[in-house]
Amino acid sequence: MEEKDKYGKELDLAVRIVHMACSLCQKVQRRLLSTASDQVLAKDDDSPVTIADWSVQASVSWLLSEFLEGQNVSIVAEEDAQTLSKSDAANLLAAVVDTVNECLADAPRYGLRSPKKALGTSQILEAIRRCNSTGGTRGRHWVLDPVDGTLGFVRGDQYAVALALIEDGKLVLGVLGCPNYPMKKELLNYNHQRHQTLPRSPRPSNIWEKGCVMYARRGSGQAWMQPLIHGDMKFEWPNSARLVQVSPVDDPSLATFCEPVEKANSNHSFTAGLASSMGLRKKPMRVHSMVKYAAIARGDAEIFIKFARSGYKEKIWDHAAGVVIIEEAGGVVTDAGGRPLDFSRGVYLEGLDRGIIACSGLALHEKIIGAVYASWDSSNL
């Protein structure tokens, strides 16, 4: 197989699957926001989980296994079926079963096959449980975050569906679905400002019904974006896609930087100090999920800085898809020591040097690395 065609089948499948998963999430989010729902639960680490998380994971697991028949499909994913298997979770499980079958029934719209008959409860639980791989240095491993940024999801804000493929410890492709990420930068700014002042205010449909899917294959030097389909729109891929590139801005005073919303896994005071020492003048854009990676890849922002507090361990599914997309769009992603992120050592980004830095270019990246070394000893991390 020629290099240019390598992973073509896998990328085609992943893009179609992520489009389907985004449609599922949009339907569930609309229901959550329009009704008082008890279908948002807290996991052991107090992070939220919804029927969308389990339903996307089950759907993606079934589709990958179905379409890569004959392969030993290894999937590293965030959720497990433990909560759904409890005796008092019958209503929740039934909602997941209905949501998965509703999603898979729509598969032909995306050029995929539906099951011959609706999947039963045991089949859906098994599909979720199959996503129990821990990855590693050998073989192919799909990496899935079914709903990245669940807190944003339940608030009607930003979230993402992220699917990546690792082969022999190296990222080879990434697909990132951002259902609430508007196609124009000014609309993202509108959303950011709205959530600083009026959380849960009505969202104009002409702005919010324009999400996107971004994707890239390692070594292509290209990253692509296409709009999500809505209503009776016909799914077209790759005809509807266009190239995206990182921003050419290399002056810190003109740069926009993103960081996580939650203080629990990001030290805002340290990143504020870094921003000040570098001459970053704009207020940080605090955005849920890997939408931050999407913003950098398509030139809406220049910097993503994340320094978690001591003891927090980064999971590979929170970064894999976004990293390959930024890098193929011309950007740089490393840890705070300037080393590439290592996705070969299991579920966690083991050996991570302090934090994660994603930039639109080398000039900004080098300035941030220098600022980190200058500021680290006086930090409270």
Are 54 and 92 in the same domain?
yes
* Strand pairing report for 285-286 and 257-259: parallel
Q: Is 318 annotated as a binding residue?
A: yes
Are 362 and 319 in the same domain?
yes
Structural domain ending residue among the three candidates 215, 244, 273: 244
Residue 226 has pLDDT above 60, yes or no: yes
Q: pLDDT by residue (tens digit) across 139-179?
A: 999 999 999 998 899 888 899 999 999 999 999 999 999 99
Residue 201 has pLDDT above 60, yes or no: no
pLDDT band at residue 307 under the 50/70/90 scheme: confident
Active site residues: 53, 150
Are 230 and 286 in the same domain?
no
Across the chain, what does the average pLDDT equal? 86
pLDDT band at residue 200 under the 50/70/90 scheme: very low
Residue 42 has pLDDT above 80, yes or no: no
Residues in the chain: 381
Q: pLDDT by residue (tens digit) across 10-36?
A: 999 999 999 999 999 999 998 888 775
> For the chain, how many structural domains are there in total?
2
CA-CA-CA-CA dihedral for 325, 326, 330, 331, to nearest 10:
-160
Tokens 């950098």 correspond to 296
Q: What is the H or E stretch that residue 172 is in?
A: strand 170-178
More confident residue, 271 or 239: 271
Q: Is 145 annotated as a binding residue?
A: yes
> Could you list the residue range(s) of the whole structural domain that residue 24 is in?
3-244
Cα–Cα dist 214/323, whole Å: 12
Are 216 and 273 in the same domain?
no
Are 10 and 149 in the same domain?
yes
Q: pLDDT by residue (tens digit) across 53-79?
A: 999 999 999 999 999 986 889 999 988
- What does the pLDDT average to over 229-237? 75
Are 81 and 194 in the same domain?
yes
Query: How many degrees, rounded to 5, is the angle at CA 193 between CA 187 and CA 196?
Result: 145
- What does the pLDDT average to over 39-65? 82
Residue 317 is part of a domain; what is its CATH number?
Answer: 3.40.190.80
Are 154 and 286 in the same domain?
no
State the pLDDT at residue 194. Answer: 43
Cα–Cα dist 189/292, whole Å: 13
- Is residue 100 exposed (0-12), middle (13-18) or buried (19+ Cβ within 10 Å)? buried
Q: Write the CA distances from 197 to 153, 201, 202, 307, 381, integer angstroms.
A: 18, 9, 13, 26, 29
Are 118 and 232 in the same domain?
yes
Are 283 and 230 in the same domain?
no
More confident residue, 312 or 37: 312
Are 204 and 283 in the same domain?
no
Beta strands in 276-364 (DSSP E): 285-286, 303-306, 332-335, 356-359
The pTM score is 0.90
Residue 197 is part of a domain; what is its CATH number?
Answer: 3.30.540.10
Are 287 and 226 in the same domain?
no
Are 230 and 323 in the same domain?
no
